[in-house]
C-alpha cells in the first residue's frame, strides 16, 4: 500500500501496464525455459541460465537500491521481477548442474519447493518487515507442502495410496495448527487448510483408480476430517462455511468413489450426480441452527459447482438436443434426467432465496451472494430447457423436437415470467425463454414457415405483455421478432396478414405511447424521431399498404407521424 | 501497529441535535464544556469527517454524566437523527439494497443487511442473522457505543434508534428492538433482537 490517492494511480496506469506486461513476458520466458529443460535437459545451456540468474540478481539489487526512495515504481517492478523468476531460476541450475539432482525433474522441483518453504517460513516469522502480502503465506505453505508430498511418488517411489495418506496427514496437521494457533490471517489459513484437505480427497480419488481399498479409506477419512472441522468451527461462520464447502466436496467424491467401487455404468454416475445436486439444493433450504449453519450456504455453493460441472461435462450430449446441425449422442435419457434434477434443484433454491434472502457478513459477501443468486436464477431455466428438449425426444413427441420443444418451453417461460415475479426473477425466465425461441427459430430454418411461426409466437407473447403494462423493452422485442418473422415469411400468407393486422391495431390503439416508446428507445431527439417515422412509414406504405387496401383506407400508419410531427413543431 | 479507530463526525452532530431537542443550544454547550475542548466549530461543517473514537467517547461520557437516566432516550433519538442525515449517495445505496430484498417474505433481512453494510469502516464488527422466521438478531463485537462502560442494564440505545428509524423511514414498518446482551453488562458482545410490529408507518 503506497497510500497514493486513486487519482495518482489512475494517472499512472500506462506505466503500470507497461511495467507489469514486461514482468509477465520475462516470467513467461523463464517458465518456458524451465518447461523446455524439463522435457529435454540437453536443451539447457550455461548462457541462458546465467542470463536469467543475472536478471534475477539485478532485479533484486537495483530494486532494493531504488526502493530506498519512497514510491519508486521502477524499484517495485524490479523487486517483483526478482521474486517472480526466482523459483524457475533456482530450478534450472538444480536440474542442469547440481550433483544428485541433475536430470531429475521431480527431485529438482521438490528441492525448489523445500527451499521456498524454508525461506517463507523464516520470512513469515518476521512478517511485519517483509514485502509479501500476508495472504500469500498460508496458500504457499499449504500448496507447497502438498506438492512436495505428492512428488514423493516419483522422488521416493512411494505408492499413490501412501502419498494420499501422507497428504491427508499433512492436511490434518495444517488444519490443527490453523484451528489451535489461529495464525494470521486466520480466514486465509482456514481456507488453505480446507484446500489441502479437499486436495487430499482428490489425490486419494486418483489413487483409487485401481479400486485400492486403502485409497477409499483415505477419501472417507478426508471427508470425515472436513465434516468435523466444519462442526468444530461452527461459531466462526465464514471459516465454518469454507470447511462446510470442503465437506460437501468430500462427500461428493466419496459417493462417486462408492459408485466406482461398485462398477456402476456411466449412466448411473450421471443420474446420481443430478440427484445429488437436487439433494444439495434441498439441504441448503433447511432451517439454520448452530450445528447446521456451516453446511447450508456451502451446500448451495456445491450445488452450483456440481450443476455447472454436470452441464459442462455433458455438453456433447445435450447440444444436439437444441442444435439441429449436431448429430445425437448416447446417454440422452440419463443426461435429460440429470439436467432435470439439477435444474429443479437450482430453480427451487433461487425461488426460496428470493423469499428468504441470506444476510451477508461483509460487503464482499453481499456482492458474492447476489452474483451467485443471479447465476443460480439464470442457470435453472436454461438447464430445464435442455431437459425439456431431451424429454421431448424421449417421449417421441412431434418432430422436429429441437423446434417444437424449445418453442413450447420458450413460450411457457415468456408467458409465466411476469406472473411469477414474486417468486422468481422474471428477467432470468425471459432470458431463457428468448434463447429457447431463438434456438427454435434457428432449428426451423429448414422450413421458413415453421421458423417464422416461432418468431411470430414469441412476438405475440411480448405484444400481450407490453399491452398489459410491461416495460418498454417488451415492445422492442415484439418489433424485432415480428420483423424477423416477416423476413422469413412470404408476404401473402395468413400468418403474415395476422401479424400486420395486430401491428396495425396496436399502433392505432397506442400511437402516442408508441411515439414515446420510440423516443425512449434511443431516438431521443424530435428530429431523429420524426425522420425515423417518416422513413419507416414510407417504407411500410411501399411494402405493405399498397398490398393491403384495407389498411391503406384506415390510414392508421399516418397517425404516429402526426403525433411526431406535432411534437417536432412544439420543440421548434 | 494498531490503527486508530474512527467514527463519522455526523454521529456527534446528530447527538448535538438530539440534545438541542431536549434543552436547546444551552444544553449542548454545557455538555461540550464538560467534555472539554471538542472542536464544535470545525465539526459543524464536517458531517462526513472522521473523528477518533476517544473523542466520541468523551462526548458520550459527558452527556451521560449530565443526563443520567434520560441519556437513553437522547441516544435513541440520536440514532434516529443519524438515519435522517444520510447523504444522497447513501440513500441511493439504501434504495438499491431495498430493491434487492423487495420480494422477501419479511423485510427484517434488509434491516440486518443494512446494519452490516453501514457498519463497514466503523469500529466494532456487526453481524446479523434471522434467529427465527420473525426475529432478526444483530450482534456487535467490540461495540463502540457502550465501550468502557460497566452497567446493570443494556446501554446501546443509539443502535436501536438507528434500526427503528431505518425501518420506519425506508421500509415503512414499525419494529420493536430489545437488547438482550450488552458488553456494558459484561457480555462478550452486544445483541439486539428486532421484531416487526403490526402496522406500517406509510
Asked if the model's pLDDT at residue A550 lies above 50, the reply is no
A462-476: average pLDDT: 76
| Lowest-pLDDT range of A147-161, A307-321, A534-548 | A534-548
In terms of pLDDT, which residue wins out, B26 or A146?
A: A146
- Name the one residue in this structure whose C-alpha cell is 430447457: A385
The Cα B18–Cα B41 span in angstroms is 17
What is the rounded average pLDDT for all residues in chain A? 81
Residues of A in contact with B101 (CB under 8 A): 357
Residues of A in contact with B112 (CB under 8 A): 359
Asked if the model's pLDDT at residue B151 lies above 50, the reply is yes
Sequential DSSP letters for A445-482:
GGSHHHHHHHHHHHHHHHHHHHHTT--HHHHHHHHHHH
Q: What is residue B176's predicted lDDT score, i.e. its pLDDT?
A: 94
What is residue B139's DSSP assignment? E
Contact A393, A339 (CB under 8 A): no
Asked if the model's pLDDT at residue A572 lies above 60, the reply is no
β-pair partners for B194: B136, B177
Sequential DSSP letters for A280-311:
HHHHHTSPP-TTTHHHHHHHHHHHHHHHHHHH
Contact A89, A53 (CB under 8 A): yes
Grid cell digits, residue A443: 432449428
A446-450: average pLDDT: 70
Burial class (CB within 10 angstroms; exposed 0-12, middle 13-18, buried 19+) of A218? buried
Sequential DSSP letters for A227-283:
HHHHHHTTTSHHHHHHHHHHHHHHHHHHHHHHHHHTT--HHHHHHHHHHHHHHHHHH
In terms of pLDDT, which residue wins out, A304 or B33?
A: A304
Q: CB A362 to CB B130 under 8 A?
A: no
Contact A472, A518 (CB under 8 A): no
Residues of B in contact with A360 (CB under 8 A): 113, 116
Contact A359, B109 (CB under 8 A): yes
Q: CB B109 to CB A361 under 8 A?
A: no
Q: What is residue A489's predicted lDDT score, i.e. its pLDDT?
A: 62
Residues of A in contact with B113 (CB under 8 A): 357, 359-360, 366
Asked if the model's pLDDT at residue A348 lies above 60, the reply is yes
Sequential DSSP letters for B3-50:
PPPEEEHHHHHHHHHHHHHHHHHHHHHHHHHHH----HHHHHT-TT-E
- B105 in reach of chain A (CB within 8 A): yes
Q: Which band of pLDDT confidence, cut at 50, 70 and 90, is reported for residue A496?
A: low
| Lowest-pLDDT range of A57-61, A253-257, A338-342 | A57-61
In terms of pLDDT, which residue wins out, A331 or A326?
A: A331
Of A333, A419, A417, nearest to A380 (Cα)? A417
Burial class (CB within 10 angstroms; exposed 0-12, middle 13-18, buried 19+) of A155? middle
* CB nearest to B113's CB, from A366, A421, A423: A366
What is residue A99's DSSP assignment? T
In terms of pLDDT, which residue wins out, A125 or A570?
A: A125
Between CA A468 and CA A473, with CA A471 as vertex, the angle to 5 degrees is 120
The Cα A541–Cα A512 span in angstroms is 20
B30-46: average pLDDT: 67
The full length of chain A comes to: 572
First to last CA, chain B: 49
What is the rounded average pLDDT for all residues in chain B? 85
Q: Which helix (H) or strand (E) holds B192?
A: strand B190-200
Grid cell digits, residue B200: 406500517
Percent of chain A exceeding pLDDT 90 equals 41
The Cα A404–Cα A5 span in angstroms is 58
Q: What is residue B58's predicted lDDT score, i.e. its pLDDT?
A: 83
Contact B87, B48 (CB under 8 A): yes
- B109 in reach of chain A (CB within 8 A): yes
The Cα A113–Cα A96 span in angstroms is 17
* CB nearest to B127's CB, from A361, A366, A423: A361
Q: What is residue A541's predicted lDDT score, i.e. its pLDDT?
A: 46
In terms of pLDDT, which residue wins out, B106 or B40?
A: B106
The Cα A281–Cα A306 span in angstroms is 11
- B113 in reach of chain A (CB within 8 A): yes
Sequential DSSP letters for A2-22:
----HHHHHHTHHHHHHHHHH
Q: What is residue A545's predicted lDDT score, i.e. its pLDDT?
A: 40
A159-172: average pLDDT: 96
A469-473: average pLDDT: 73
- Choosing among B102, B105, B118, which should be mutated to test the A contact, i.e. which has the most A CBs within 10 A? B105
- Is the complex ipTM higher than 0.90? no
Q: Which long-range contacts (CB under 8 A, 24 or more apart) does A315-319 make?
A: A318/A386, A318/A389, A318/A390
Asked if the model's pLDDT at residue A455 lies above 60, the reply is yes
In terms of pLDDT, which residue wins out, B196 or A330?
A: B196
Q: How many CA atoms lie within 13 A of A179 on its CB side?
A: 20
Contact B170, B143 (CB under 8 A): no
The Cα A58–Cα A488 span in angstroms is 68
Q: Going by C-beta distance under 8 Å and a sequence separation of 6 or more, which residues neighbour residue A128?
A: none
| Lowest-pLDDT range of A311-315, A415-419, A507-511 | A507-511
Residue of B nearest to A236 (CA): B127
Residues of B in contact with A420 (CB under 8 A): none
The Cα A523–Cα A188 span in angstroms is 52
Q: Which band of pLDDT confidence, cut at 50, 70 and 90, is reported for residue A160?
A: very high
Q: What is residue B199's predicted lDDT score, i.e. its pLDDT?
A: 54
Q: What is residue A171's predicted lDDT score, i.e. its pLDDT?
A: 96
Grid cell digits, residue B117: 453494510
* C-beta atoms surrounding A333 within 10 Å: 16
Grid cell digits, residue A354: 428470493
Q: Which long-range contacts (CB under 8 A, 24 or more apart) does B51-56 make?
A: B51/B6, B51/B7, B51/B8, B51/B9, B51/B12, B52/B4, B52/B5, B52/B6, B53/B4, B53/B5, B53/B6, B53/B7, B53/B123, B53/B144, B53/B147, B55/B12, B56/B7, B56/B11, B56/B12, B56/B144
Q: Going by C-beta distance under 8 Å and a sequence separation of 6 or more, which residues neighbour residue A28?
A: none
Q: CB A362 to CB B116 under 8 A?
A: yes
Preceding amide of A400 cis, omega within 30: yes
Size of interface A-B (CB pairs under 8 A): 40
The Cα B35–Cα A70 span in angstroms is 40
Backbone φ, ψ for residue A232 (5° rounding): -65, -30
Task: Name the most confidently modeled range: A57-61, A124-128, A516-520.
Answer: A57-61
DSSP collapsed to 3 states, B168-189: HHHHCEEEEEEEEECHHHCCCC
Q: How many CA atoms lie within 13 A of B37 on its CB side?
A: 0
Query: How do residues B55-107 score in pLDDT, each as one tens digit?
Result: 888 888 888 888 888 888 899 999 999 888 888 888 888 888 898 888 999 99
Give the helix ranges, DSSP H, for A363-418: 363-394, 401-416
Asked if the model's pLDDT at residue A248 lies above 80, the reply is yes
Q: What is residue A350's predicted lDDT score, i.e. its pLDDT?
A: 96
Query: Helices A448-467 and A472-488 meet at what angle, rounded to 10?
Result: 160
The full length of chain B comes to: 202
Query: How do residues A72-102 score in pLDDT, each as one tens digit?
Result: 778 888 888 888 888 888 899 899 988 989 8
Asked if the model's pLDDT at residue B42 lies above 60, the reply is yes
A532-550: average pLDDT: 42
Q: Which of residues 118-137 of B touch A (CB under 8 A)?
A: 120, 127-130
Residues of A in contact with B104 (CB under 8 A): 354-357
- Name the one residue in this structure whose C-alpha cell is 519508486: A72
Q: Which band of pLDDT confidence, cut at 50, 70 and 90, is reported for residue A387?
A: very high
Percent of chain A exceeding pLDDT 70 equals 81
SS3 helix, strand, coil % of chain B, rounded to 5? Answer: 50, 20, 30
Residue of B nearest to A374 (CA): B100
Asked if the model's pLDDT at residue A535 lies above 80, the reply is no
Distance from CA of B114 to the nearest CA of A (A): 9
Q: Which helix (H) or strand (E) holds A217?
A: helix A213-232
Asked if the model's pLDDT at residue A536 lies above 90, the reply is no
Q: What is residue A543's predicted lDDT score, i.e. its pLDDT?
A: 40
The model's pTM:
0.77
Q: What is residue A542's predicted lDDT score, i.e. its pLDDT?
A: 45
SS3 A316: helix
- Choosing among A3, A359, A424, which should be mutated to test the B contact, i.e. which has the most B CBs within 10 A? A359
* CB nearest to A357's CB, from B101, B116, B117: B101
- B169 in reach of chain A (CB within 8 A): no
Residues of A in contact with B140 (CB under 8 A): none
Of B195, B100, B182, B97, nearest to B144 (Cα)? B182
- B102 in reach of chain A (CB within 8 A): no
Residues of chain A that touch chain B, judged by Cβ-Cβ distance less than 8 Å:
237, 288, 354-363, 366, 370, 421-423
Residues of B in contact with A358 (CB under 8 A): 109
Contact A225, A276 (CB under 8 A): no
What is residue A425's DSSP assignment? -
Of A90, A100, A113, A84, nearest to A37 (Cα)? A90
β-pair partners for B176: B195
Q: Going by C-beta distance under 8 Å and a sequence separation of 6 or more, which residues neighbour residue A420?
A: A426, A429
Asked if the model's pLDDT at residue A18 lies above 70, the reply is yes
Q: CB B109 to CB A359 under 8 A?
A: yes
First to last CA, chain A: 56
Query: C-alpha distances in angstroms, A10 versus A14, A67, A78, A80?
Result: 9, 21, 21, 20
Amino acid at each position: 500500500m503506497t497510500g497514493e490517492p486513486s487519482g495518482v494511480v489512475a494517472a499512472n496506469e500506462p506505466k503500470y501496464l507497461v511495467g507489469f506486461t514486461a514482468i509477465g513476458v520475462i516470467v513467461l520466458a523463464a517458465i518456458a525455459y524451465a518447461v523446455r529443460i524439463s522435457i529435454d535437459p540437453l536443451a539447457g545451456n550455461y548462457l541462458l541460465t546465467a542470463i536469467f540468474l543475472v536478471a534475477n540478481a539485478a532485479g533484486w539489487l537495483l530494486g532494493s537500491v531504488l526502493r530506498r526512495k519512497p514510491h519508486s515504481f521502477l524499484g517495485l517492478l524490479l523487486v517483483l521481477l526478482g521474486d517472480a523468476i526466482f523459483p524457475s531460476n533456482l530450478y534450472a541450475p538444480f536440474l542442469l548442474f547440481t550433483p544428485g539432482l541433475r536430470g531429475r525433474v521431480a527431485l529438482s522441483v521438490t528441492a525448489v519447493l523445500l527451499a521456498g518453504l524454508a525461506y517463507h517460513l523464516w520470512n513469515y516469522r518476521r512478517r511485519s518487515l517483509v514485502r509479501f502480502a500476508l495472504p500469500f503465506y498460508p496458500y504457499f505453505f499449504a500448496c507447497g507442502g502438498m506438492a512436495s508430498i505428492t512428488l514423493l511418488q516419483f522422488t521416493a517411489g512411494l505408492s499413490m495410496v501412501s502419498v494420499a495418506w501422507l497428504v491427508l496427514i499433512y492436511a490434518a496437521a495444517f488444519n490443527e495448527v490453523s484451528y489451535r494457533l489461529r495464525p494470521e490471517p486466520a480466514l486465509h489459513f482456514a481456507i488453505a487448510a480446507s484446500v489441502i484437505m479437499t486436495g487430499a480427497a482428490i489425490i486419494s480419488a486418483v489413487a483409487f483408480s485401481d479400486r485400492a481399498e486403502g485409497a477409499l479409506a483415505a477419501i472417507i477419512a478426508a471427508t470425515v476430517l472436513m465434516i468435523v472441522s466444519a462442526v468444530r468451527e461452527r461459531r466462526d461462520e465464514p471459516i465454518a462455511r469454507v470447511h462446510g464447502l470442503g465437506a460437501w466436496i468430500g462427500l461428493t467424491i466419496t459417493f462417486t468413489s462408492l459408485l466406482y467401487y461398485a462398477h456402476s455404468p456411466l449412466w448411473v454416475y450421471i443420474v446420481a450426480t443430478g440427484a445429488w445436486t437436487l439433494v444439495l439444493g434441498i439441504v441448503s433450504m433447511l432451517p439454520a441452527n448452530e450445528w447446521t449453519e456451516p453446511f447450508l450456504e456451502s451446500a448451495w455453493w456445491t450445488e452450483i459447482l456440481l450443476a455447472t460441472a454436470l452441464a459442462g461435462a455433458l455438453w456433447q450430449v445435450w447440444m444436439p438436443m437444441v442444435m439441429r446441425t449436431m448429430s445425437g449422442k448416447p446417454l440422452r435419457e440419463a443426461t435429460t434426467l440429470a439436467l432435470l434434477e439439477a435444474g429443479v434443484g437450482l430453480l427451487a433454491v433461487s425461488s426460496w432465496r428470493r423469499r428468504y434472502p441470506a444476510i451477508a457478513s461483509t460487503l464482499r459477501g453481499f456482492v458474492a451472494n447476489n452474483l451467485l443468486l443471479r447465476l443460480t436464477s439464470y442457470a435453472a431455466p436454461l438447464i430445464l430447457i435442455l431437459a425439456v428438449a431431451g424429454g421431448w425426444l424421449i417421449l417421441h413427441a412431434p418432430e422436429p423436437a429441437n423446434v417444437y420443444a424449445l418453442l413450447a418451453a420458450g413460450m411457457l417461460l415468456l408467458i409465466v415470467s411476469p406472473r411469477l415475479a414474486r417468486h422468481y426473477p422474471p428477467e432470468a425466465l425471459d432470458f431463457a425463454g428468448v434463447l429457447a425461441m431463438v434456438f427454435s427459430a434457428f432449428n426451423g430454418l429448414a422450413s421458413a414457415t415453421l421458423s417464422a411461426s416461432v418468431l411470430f409466437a414469441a412476438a405475440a407473447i411480448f405484444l400481450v405483455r407490453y399491452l398489459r403494462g410491461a416495460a418498454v423493452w417488451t415492445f422492442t422485442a415484439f418489433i424485432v421478432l415480428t420483423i424477423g418473422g416477416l423476413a422469413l415469411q412470404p408476404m401473402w400468407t395468413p400468418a403474415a396478414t395476422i401479424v400486420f393486422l395486430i401491428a396495425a391495431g396496436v399502433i392505432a390503439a397506442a400511437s402516442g405511447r408508441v411515439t414515446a416508446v420510440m423516443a425512449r428507445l434511443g431516438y431521443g431527439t424530435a428530429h431523429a424521431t420524426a425522420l425515423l417515422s417518416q422513413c419507416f412509414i414510407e417504407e411500410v406504405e411501399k411494402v405493405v399498404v399498397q398490398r393491403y387496401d384495407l389498411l391503406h383506407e384506415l390510414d392508421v400508419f399516418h397517425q404516429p407521424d402526426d403525433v411526431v410531427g406535432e411534437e417536432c413543431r412544439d420543440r421548434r | 501497529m494498531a490503527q486508530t479507530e474512527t467514527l463519522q463526525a455526523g454521529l456527534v452532530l446528530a447527538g448535538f441535535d438530539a440534545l438541542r431537542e431536549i434543552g436547546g443550544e444551552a444544553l449542548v454547550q454545557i455538555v461540550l464544556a464538560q467534555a472539554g475542548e471538542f472542536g464544535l466549530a470545525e465539526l459543524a461543517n464536517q458531517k462526513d469527517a472522521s473523528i477518533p473514537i476517544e473523542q466520541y467517547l468523551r462526548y458520550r461520557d459527558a452527556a451521560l454524566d449530565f443526563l443520567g437516566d434520560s441519556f437513553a432516550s437522547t441516544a435513541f433519538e440520536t440514532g434516529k437523527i443519524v438515519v435522517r442525515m444520510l447523504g444522497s449517495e447513501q440513500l441511493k445505496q439504501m434504495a438499491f439494497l431495498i430493491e434487492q430484498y423487495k420480494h422477501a417474505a419479511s423485510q427484517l433481512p434488509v434491516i440486518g443487511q443494512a446494519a452490516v453494510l453501514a457498519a463497514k469502516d466503523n469500529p466494532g464488527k456487526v453481524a446479523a442473522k434471522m434467529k427465527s422466521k420473525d426475529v432478526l438478531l444483530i450482534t456487535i463485537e467490540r461495540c463502540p457505543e457502550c465501550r468502557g462502560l460497566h452497567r446493570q442494564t443494556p446501554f446501546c440505545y443509539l443502535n436501536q434508534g438507528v434500526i427503528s428509524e431505518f425501518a420506519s423511514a425506508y421500509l415503512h414498518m414499525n419494529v420493536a428492538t430489545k437488547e438482550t446482551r450488552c458488553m456494558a453488562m459484561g457480555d462478550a458482545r452486544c445483541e439486539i433482537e428486532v421484531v416487526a410490529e403490526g402496522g406500517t408507518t406509510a
